[in-house]
Amino acid sequence: MTSTSCGGTGQETKVWQASVRSDDPVATVAPTWINGLRVVRDSGKEQSCVWSTTYPQVPGAQPLTDELRRLVEERRAGFLEWARESGCGESEVKAPELNIGFGFLAASGDVIGVRFTVYQLGGAGDGKSTTSRWYDGAKGQVVPALSLINPPSMSRFEALTQKALADIDGQARLTDPRTLDDLAFTRSGDLVVTFDEGEVAAGAVGQAHAVLPRAEVEPLLSDFGRRAQAQVMRPDERLALPGYTADGSVDCRRVKCVALTFDDGPSPYTDRLLKYLAAYRAHATFFVVGQNVVMHPGVVRRAMRAGHEIGNHSWSHRDLTRLSPAGVRADLLRTDRAILKATGVTPTLVRPPYGSFNRIVRRQSPHPLVLWDVDTLDWLYRNSTHVTRAAVRPARPGSIILFHDIQPTTVQAIPQVLKRLSKRGFHFVTVSQLYDGKVPPRAFRGPHP
């Protein structure tokens, strides 16, 4: 078998033959320079079957995060369905297990590559498997591994791959293009096609890596494939994605943003809401009632530490227009002090209860008044389907959407709201972020990008 070094030039005219090997030639990176990068971890136990999953949330690449979440949830659901049917075995020592991890193949410029590694012991899909997804930041699209290859060159690519497989095992055959779901590059620009255990070579131990030299494969690459190859070979440790900024913030002048706002809390349902928002790396603004803050300071503190904005919604939700000038100011300042004590931060925004204000309220408020342009009426229609529809349909760039986190049906609707608005390309920011920190004295919706 002929081979080249992973650190070589990769210019040989003969295919670097695939091998069944324990070492993986694929180049990976640890993009610690991405500000705001988060890893979502989850684990559990179904009877005696355990599972653990992780996937990354990349700022500025929400479609990629959505796709990775979908892949994880789909694989986990299949495992748990099988576990429930099988009873997970009779012994915990040999009980089935699912573990899903990931690595970055690239994270530079407008290209991101992520590879999932799945270990499943027991049941369908037993063994180790890998799959890769790539993100074309220029188009804002998640693309499959085969997008690295120019479609007219697919036949030639499959022929090169088949030749490499034949050098591993004369019986190995590339019979199903769906097995071509893990394509990546070496640091020197060679293309690696990875197959799951036993997928193409009967009796093979470990995964098969078909490594196609740069000189052979470069003419077959698509435009995106060439960009991906360049970012692997010469990474510049920065992202150039629409809406991504080096400090991890979102630039609402370049991408579609909405501000999700939640009134009247904190409540017993707010912690669950924080988990839903974290899953989408969504930031929101909580307009809290002072007397509730005193009762649940820890919830407000957790919201603030998670990056959410805390706003003033009066002390006890009285109509401020019915108070004297001194009464308005005293009410709002009392609430400010409660928020400061709970979080260590003085709020900078006020939402008047019922959206009711007059000249006195405007003059006595120590902060800008924030209203809304999308009202879900969740306090009236306590139905999650209605709340989702009422939030998603009218939303447009710059919208400020009104919810109430004291309603359990509202909190139940938020995962679908986040999912549907994400698919429409929206980023979720605080009210202050929507206005780039310059909130006007009276705000109904943010400026259109």
pLDDT of residue 22: 39
Residue recorded with tokens 């429930």: 84
What is the enclosing helix (H) or strand (E) of 408? helix 408-423
What is the Cα gyration radius of the chain?
26
Residue 359: in which H helix or E strand, if any?
helix 359-364
Smallest CA-to-CA distance from 79 within 102, 96, 67 is with 96
Which candidate, 433, 68, 448, 29, places its Cα nearest to that of 245? Answer: 433
Q: In this predicted structure, what is the pLDDT of residue 240?
A: 82
Residue 281 near residue 423, CB atoms below 8 Å: no
pLDDT on residue 124: 54
The dotted CATH code for 256-443 is: 3.20.20.370
β-bridge pairing 374-375 and 369-370: unpaired
What pLDDT score does 171 carry? 58
Whether 404 is a known active-site residue: answer yes
pLDDT of residue 237: 78
The region, left, alpha or beta by phi > 0 then psi within -120 to 50, assigned to residue 51 is: beta
Tell me what pLDDT residue 2 has: 31
What pLDDT, in 10s, does the model give residues 316-356? Answer: 999 999 999 999 999 999 999 999 999 999 999 999 999 99
Which DSSP symbol is given to 27? -
pLDDT of residue 252: 86
The amino acid sitting at 299 is V
331: DSSP letter: H
pLDDT of residue 168: 63
* Regions of the chain with pLDDT less than 70: 1-23, 89-94, 123-126, 167-176, 198-206, 243, 245-249, 448-449
Is the peptide bond preceding residue 368 cis, with omega within 30 degrees of 0?
no
What are the extents of the domains in the chain? 19-233, 256-443
Report residue 86 CA to chain centroid gap.
32
Among 331, 404, 405, 427, which one carries the catalytic annotation?
404
Edge-first strand order for the sheet with 208-212 is 19-20, 208-212, 191-195, 183-185
Please give the helix or strand (H or E) that residue 431 lies within, else none: helix 431-434
Active-site option among 24, 263, 378, 405: 263
Class of domain 19-233 (CATH, top level) = alpha beta
390, 376 contact by CB (below 8 A)? yes
Write out the two tokens for 130: 């890998």
What DSSP character marks residue 143?
A: E
For 174, the 3-state DSSP assignment is coil
CA distance 360 to 329: 10
Q: Say how far apart CA 350 and CA 339 lie, in whole Å.
A: 12
Query: CA 62, CA 116: separation in Å to the nearest integer?
Result: 17
Give tens-digit pLDDT for 364-385. 999 999 999 999 999 999 999 9
pLDDT of residue 257: 92
d(CA 181, CA 134): 11
Catalytic annotation on 448? Answer: no
